[in-house]
Homo-oligomer: A and B are copies of this chain.
């Protein structure tokens, strides 16, 4: 069976061969289950090379779990989490944050998926008033769900404000690799260095099979996380296979190479479609996504050749995601098809 590539999502892609090989390479004999094994030890060490020797690093299965359990570590049920209305934790986790933490999410509309001080401040009332939930975490996504990227200064500003108010800054880094290469910075300065307290460090959208890391820069937050992970049904028995993926992901900059490629493909796609009549790109292309409004009439046929999702039915806005395995030919073929359909 040959599965056609499209632009639906970076998690529609398969697994990078180097990672697959790494998984096979640890398949020898017995090691203690649940993470007390040398591969897991090494993977944690590898991540700490990037995120600091003090970082608390815990593997879970998926990004939703990384987000929810990370938030849970910083909250009690009467707290609230401030996030953009487009945040994955608000829109795409079927209420898992509320179910598991008990907390309310306080959302703000944004033009570009990014929180600002003003958007946070509108939720900062009723502090100390027992009838209201108490804001405790600010959660941002980097790169955002709209393909935009916070600058390090923007993150630092949010972190400083959060800390002044006794809050924590959480970063959903499902696409953090794409943000790192977009800003051409290193991982530490975008996270711990900019004041982030809790990081969901994702790899599945960038060539891994499964597995995500929750990283705490404040050891207090990590203190009883091992119980939270187990109770949160996220403790893998054969942990070595997640560990092997992360080590391979970080080795020889595979994570950056994959992300750089995906971002470059998005730029190419952007350039190829932005001037086609009827196409209006709606967001800055800073990572691996292109958002655009296109005529509703062409969507269905286009999807048949290159599958993708409609983001907003009302405005006929669509999302095109590039991934580590998107090819130049994919972009060219897609742009050619779109041109043909619209320029007639």
Contact = CB atoms under 8 A, between A and B. Distances in A.
A195 interface: no
Contacts of A325: 30
Given A94-B131, A103-B95, A234-B233, A4 B28 contact: no
Interface in A1-58: 1-6, 8-9, 11-15, 17, 20, 23-24, 26-34, 38
Interface in A87-122: 91-96, 98-100, 102-105
Interface stretch (A235-243, A250-258, A260-268, A275-283): A235-243
Contacts of A30: 3-6, 8, 12-14, 307, 323, 325
Contact of A131 (B1, B76, B133, B230): B230
Contacts of A28: 1-3, 14
Nearest to A233: B65
A61 interface: yes
Interface string A208-241: 0110000000000000101111111111111011
Given A9-B33, A94-B230, A238 B134 contact: no
A336 interface: no
A130 interface: yes
A249 B135 CA distance: 39
Contacts of A26: 14
A32 B14 CA distance: 10
Contact of A231 (B3, B91, B96, B313): B96
Contacts of A316: none
> Chain A binding site: helix, strand, loop or mixed by DSSP?
loop
A315 interface: no
A131 B241 contact: no
A64 interface: yes
Nearest to A208: B238
A95 B104 contact: yes
A81 to B, nearest CB: 11
Instruction: With a 10 A CB-CB cut-off, give which of A30, A99, A102, A227 has the most chain B CB atoms.
Output: A30
B29 A15 contact: no
A284 interface: no
A204 interface: yes
A77 interface: yes
A273 interface: no
Contacts of A102: 95, 98-99, 102, 231
A163 interface: no
B32 A224 contact: no
A1 B38 contact: yes
Contact of A14 (B78, B105, B238): B238
Contacts of A133: 94-95
Contacts of A14: 26-30, 238, 240
7 contacts: A12-B33, A23-B209, A30-B323, A91-B132, A98-B98, A100-B233, A210-B238
Given A98-B102, A102-B231, A210-B210, 16 more contacts: A12-B31, A12-B32, A15-B27, A30-B325, A65-B233, A78-B230, A93-B230, A94-B132, A94-B230, A95-B102, A96-B232, A98-B98, A102-B102, A130-B230, A134-B227, A204-B238
